[in-house]
A and B are shown apart, each in its own frame.
Chain A
Amino acid sequence: MAQALGWWGVPLGIIAGTFRGSVPFLFVSLGECLTEKSGKINLGLEGTLLTGAMSSYAISYLTGSPWLGVIGAGLAGMALGAIHGWLSQQPRVNDVAVGIAMIIFGSGVAFFLGKPFIKPSAPQLPTIDLGNWSNLTQVQAALKISPLFILGMAIAFLMQWFFKSTRWGLYVRAVGDNPDAARAMGISVFKVRMVSIIVGSFLAGIGGAALSLYYPGVWTERISSGQGLIAVALVIFARWNPIQCLYASLLFGGARSLGPALQSVGIDWGYYLFNAVPYVLTLAIMIITCSPKRRLTGAPGALGTDK
């Protein structure tokens, strides 16, 4: 690729990587955003992502229908979400600890059930080819957009509207900001959080399907490489705003492709350091915007408390 295009391969590689790499980030971060808006944190989405990737790949292989796989991934995510939602709301149970136990449990289930599916190749999701105007195969390959990306974008705008303009969105925000007040309004904090966490995990499961059925399009045990945990940072980066989750996903996806894109033109130095760019950026933004005197704008009031 790089030989034919020379230095143009770098921006093209980044664009291609941004579209491909941002899809799982988009779904997981939207799921985490919904979860955190209700006042609970779900670190276990890493396990959900792996379970989603495994189940979609297995279902796609067994039934021959990748879309069935996507739905299966969402349902598998919901099952894990139900465990997390119920457990993390028991008295004296810390949601961070449950999340880490769920990473271990979720990845255990995914690796256990997914072992027979590492070798066979499953039918992949179709792509929307936006690059057909170009004669260059590299450009065509870079602009193969997944329909999941379009879907994720739609969900981001939908979620924004949901939080802002619907009664149910208000319930979620109320429960996340001030559970006591929400209770006084007659809202069931338990139910709202349960639903938010389960729907969030459904989205994270679909993010897993994007990994195994779109890009990189295989099922291995190292497929998620921490993307589920990164989503937690991404949501903070996006200030708990679904539209900004979309932008942040593009940025994080792009940053991940920086190293490989430079490598393709022979620059090896700093390959791994470029991988760390999103985390350094998130940390820097937190340091700049946090202050002992007030909370982060957009941060749900009950997040990280026992309420």
Chain B
Amino acid sequence: MFLTAIDRYSWRKSLEAICIPVGAVLVALIIFGVFCAVVGANPFGVYGSIYKAAFGGWSAWQRTFIQASPLMLSALCTVLPARLGLVIIGNEGALVMGGLGAIAVGLSLGESLPPLLVQIGMAMGGMLFGGIWIAIAGALRHYRAVNETISSLLLNYIAIAFLNHLVGGPMRDPSSLNKPSTFPIAEINRLGDIPGTRIHYGLLYGLIACIVAYILIQRTTFGFAARTAGGNVRAAQIAGLPVGKLTIIICFLAGSCAGLAGMVEVAAVHGVANESLNVGYGYGGILVAFVARHNPLASALVATLLGGILASGGILQRSHDLPDATVLVFQGLVFLMVLYSDSLYGRFAFFQERETLPSNLSPIE
């Protein structure tokens, strides 16, 4: 009897966990359709175009995955500290610092080592720089009680200023005229594509990072300690958990994921570091994290969805004569609705566990 109660509980709850976010996306689609109709575009045509550009066919999927991989990595920068109860929004800064770390290693190693080692070095450089960046926020939180949301936001701007300074002066390639950039890394050291596709290896980095993060949080004692500290800091301290160390390590890991995203952008997409590093994958990642309710595996899915929306920007302009900001409106609507839907859990009677009398007990007559 106990077991059946659990079973019943779980399927209704699982159904709720699927229906509510899907419903939220549908409502966002309807509102967006009304918006399109008001500005004079055929909503169904627009839906069709977004679907086709994002998920219609292999080449669309490839574009979607290319957009999704930095989002997966950058989302983890918010996901991991959230398990400790911290709200980190320094993804953009960690990504930028990671890109700088990667380019620094890539340029200084040049072609002195085999490409694979240089790539590993760039990844390490990116992770180290990004990790330290967020670990600063974690350490300030623990030792000085500085609000981590604000400090990580400030660190974003400091990192961006640092990037602009370096690419505008000390690290500038004089031949980059329109868009100041660093010197490019050697062609041979660039992160290639997964064989048979046009998707770079960054996607694998993203997927592996999400899986590792999931295992780390859900299946290890370290993750258990982190979740305990996130639930109640005082209780964790009394239980003898090293809360300070946990905070800094988790923040370092979080930042290193975003830093790796920066490395992927540098080593696979641009080949140089410039202001293209700072195009919003950081802020996109924060949203992915919240929409995925800080679950690393769900983050990979949500990042793919957002990647698809981002990939459909161009086509709306070409075939519907809508400004490219249309995608921003759509993205904003989807996220607002999904965030709102969080408050709906437990409000629908259908998804609640039923109070039924066990069959072997007859009601009192």
Q: How far is the CB of A206 from chain B (nearest CB, A)?
A: 22
Chain B residue at smallest Cβ distance from A114? B325
- Within 8 Å of chain A (Cβ to Cβ): is B165? yes
In the complex where A98-B336, A104-B331 touch, is A279 in contact with B158 (Cβ < 8 A)?
yes
Q: Is the CB of B333 within 8 A of A105?
A: yes
- A80-113: CB near B (< 8 Å → 1, else 0) gives 0001000100111110111011111111111110
Residues of A within 8 A of B143 (CB): 292
Residues of B within 8 A of A226 (CB): 157
Q: Is the CB of A104 within 8 A of B165?
A: no
- From A102, A279, A304, give the contact of B147 (CB < 8 A): A304
Q: Is the CB of B343 within 8 A of A93?
A: yes
- Residue from B39, B154, B287 whose CB has the most chain A CB atoms within 10 Å: B154
Q: Is the CB of B343 within 8 A of A97?
A: no
Q: Is the CB of B150 within 8 A of A236?
A: yes
- Within 8 Å of chain A (Cβ to Cβ): is B50? no
Residues of A within 8 A of B332 (CB): 101-102, 104-106, 108-109
- From B89, B151, B324, B339, give the contact of A98 (CB < 8 A): B339
Shortest Cβ-Cβ A-B pairs, 8 listed: A105-B332, A108-B328, A111-B325, A276-B161, A90-B343, A108-B329, A272-B164, A97-B290
How far is B168's CA from A272's CA once the two chains are assembled, in angstroms? 8
Q: Is the CB of B154 within 8 A of A115?
A: no
- From A83, A232, A273, give the contact of B336 (CB < 8 A): A83
Q: Which residues of A contact B (CB under 8 A)?
A: 41, 43, 83, 87, 90-94, 96-98, 100-112, 115, 226, 229-230, 232-233, 236, 268-273, 275-276, 279-280, 282-283, 286-287, 290-293, 304
Interface size class of B (residues with CB under 8 A): 35 or more
A selection of 7 A-B contacts at a CB cut-off of 8 Å is A101-B339, A102-B332, A108-B326, A111-B325, A229-B153, A232-B150, A236-B147
Residues of A within 8 A of B242 (CB): none
In the complex where A272-B161, A275-B161, A304-B147 touch, is A101 in contact with B336 (Cβ < 8 A)?
yes
Main SS of chain A's interface residues? helix
- Within 8 Å of chain A (Cβ to Cβ): is B286? yes
How far is B330's CA from A12's CA once the two chains are assembled, in angstroms? 45
Q: Is the CB of A105 within 8 A of B286?
A: no
In the complex where A93-B342, A97-B339, A100-B89 touch, is A233 in contact with B154 (Cβ < 8 A)?
yes
- From B154, B287, B328, B333, give the contact of A97 (CB < 8 A): B287
In the complex where A108-B325, A108-B332, A233-B154 touch, is A290 in contact with B339 (Cβ < 8 A)?
no
How far is B329's CA from A115's CA once the two chains are assembled, in angstroms? 14
Residues of B within 8 A of A92 (CB): 342-343, 345
Residues of B within 8 A of A272 (CB): 161-162, 164-165, 168
How far is B331's CA from A292's CA once the two chains are assembled, in angstroms? 38
Q: Is the CB of B342 within 8 A of A276?
A: no
- From A98, A112, A233, A273, give the contact of B329 (CB < 8 A): A112
Q: Is the CB of B325 within 8 A of A115?
A: yes
Residues of B within 8 A of A112 (CB): 39, 322-323, 325-326, 328-329
Chain B residue at smallest Cβ distance from A83? B336
- Within 8 Å of chain A (Cβ to Cβ): is B145? yes
Q: Is the CB of A105 within 8 A of B329?
A: yes
How far is B149's CA from A97's CA once the two chains are assembled, in angstroms? 11
- Within 8 Å of chain A (Cβ to Cβ): is B318? no
- From A87, A268, A279, give the contact of B157 (CB < 8 A): A279
